[in-house]
Structure 1
Amino acid sequence: MTTEIQHIVFDIGKVLIHYDPNLAFARIIPDEEERARFFAEICTHDWNVEQDRGRTWEEAEALLIADHPQRAEQIRAFRKNWHEMVPHHYEESVAIMEKLIAEGRDVTLLTNFASDTFREAQQRFPFLKATRGVTVSGDIGLIKPDVAIYETHARDFGLDPASTIFIDDSQANVDGAKAAGWKAVHFTGADKLRADLSSYGIEV
């Protein structure tokens, strides 16, 4: 017999809201190959993740500008133009989340997000304030897929791991949740999410 799901935890980026740095940088660095090099060698994914872990943008920018002074303006453009990287939400995913909340289910958020940009996102996307609460990686200095962040979220919100299902677009983060004893599904779209939830007895 499978354990009944009591808690539903959503990731945010690429599950509820769209995120793509190219949306801003297509204007800042129009040449596609040069832009790809910039993201591969300067404002890399690993560099950006440290802001999700709690490093300030000022520190992050200074670190790169010291090594790439000629790129200072483009480096600072990452934070300055962040709002362009998150242009819209996914209506169907948000509708699923809101329906779950309306039905009285326990819904929380667990996200890799810099503290300041998350607050900006909450102002722009009010549904990010609709859940019982949120764990933001940048606030606590822990990051998915480290097991510690799932354990912290479960402790802070009183979740039973075996009765918790997590939804994330990253397979690594899904695997991290499973390592923490949660159920977890890989998000690729609203239709699959409905089917995945249905397989756990949750109809939306």
Structure 2
Amino acid sequence: MKEIDSIIFDLGGVLVDWKPEYVFLDVFEGNEEKTKWFLNNICTLDWNEQQDAGRTIDEANKTLIAQFPEFEHEIKQYYGRWLEMLGGAIEGTVKILDSLVKKDCYKLVALTNWSAETFPKALEMFEFLHWFEGIVVSGEEKTRKPFEKIYNITLERFNIKAEKAIFIDDNLRNIEAANKLGINSIHFESPEKLLQQLKIYNIHL
């Protein structure tokens, strides 16, 4: 194994706690069944990922409301109350990132599926997002994980060699795509487990 010199972090689910349920449990007055149904059938992850890939929020709302006019009010809550979907920082991972910054041995970048319209709000909220050398935001690039193009953008923009990089993501689909490009990957499950997995690459914090 070649020595690692670059670490690429996903953001949502790794460093930032993001769950639409935080909003829609309130919208549906604590009814978990209704919340689950709505997020599985109306404001789905597939729908959200189209905004991550560059579609505007205005277009997203118009398209979905045209399909489900009876849910217009609820659909508008998705981005109308978007900030409430952010549960805060995942502190254990932020501590790991802080330790990596202080070691000053690695190129630290982020690769995130995130709407270009909402990401600036996250930059205002989370100071640690400014610790990276740079962040590749899918909505700005008009493509997203797990498509090969966005990984190549990240590698080329920051002069990273796949075999000398680690990619950390909570979505196995994204991990598998990175592996196909020769990028070492860690499937994120918890900060505690991440610490142990980094040791496999001789990264001790």
Same fold (TM over 0.5): yes
Residue 43 of structure 2 aligns with an amino acid whose one-letter code is: C
Aligned length: 203
Structure 1 residue aligned with 2:148: 147
Aligned counterparts, 1:153-164, within 5 A: 153-164=154-165
Deviation at 1:99, TM superposition (A): 1.1
Aligned counterparts, 1:1-204, within 5 A: 2-30=1-29, 31-104=31-104, 105-204=106-205
Deviation at 1:22, TM superposition (A): 0.7
Deviation at 1:35, TM superposition (A): 2.1
Deviation at 1:152, TM superposition (A): 0.9
Range that drifts further, 22-31 or 149-158: 22-31
Distance across 1 between alignment mates of 2:33 and 2:95: 37
Deviation at 1:111, TM superposition (A): 0.5
Distance across 1 between alignment mates of 2:113 and 2:13: 11
Residue 168 of structure 1 aligns with an amino acid whose one-letter code is: D
| Partner SS state of residue 58, structure 1 | helix
Distance across 1 between alignment mates of 2:201 and 2:126: 28
| Partner SS state of residue 166, structure 1 | strand
Distance across 2 between alignment mates of 1:122 and 1:76: 23
Deviation at 1:188, TM superposition (A): 0.5
Runs of 4 or more above 3 Å deviation: none
Deviation at 1:192, TM superposition (A): 1.1
Residues 178-199 of structure 1 show CA distances to partners (whole Å, capped at 9, x for unaligned) of 1111000100011111111111
| Partner SS state of residue 119, structure 1 | helix
Residue 175 of structure 2 aligns with an amino acid whose one-letter code is: V
Deviation at 1:102, TM superposition (A): 1.5
Residues 16-62 of structure 1 show CA distances to partners (whole Å, capped at 9, x for unaligned) of 01011111111112232222221122111100010000100000000
Distance across 1 between alignment mates of 2:202 and 2:36: 43
Residues 145-168 of structure 1 show CA distances to partners (whole Å, capped at 9, x for unaligned) of 112111110001110111000000
Distance across 2 between alignment mates of 1:94 and 1:34: 33
Deviation at 1:87, TM superposition (A): 1.8
Q: TM-score normalized by structure 1?
A: 0.97
Q: TM-score normalized by structure 2?
A: 0.96
Distance across 2 between alignment mates of 1:32 and 1:176: 32
| Alignment root-mean-square deviation, CA | 0.9
Distance across 2 between alignment mates of 1:62 and 1:199: 48
Residue 45 of structure 1 aligns with an amino acid whose one-letter code is: L
Distance across 1 between alignment mates of 2:194 and 2:202: 12
Residue 124 of structure 1 aligns with an amino acid whose one-letter code is: M
Identity %: 35
Distance across 2 between alignment mates of 1:162 and 1:154: 11
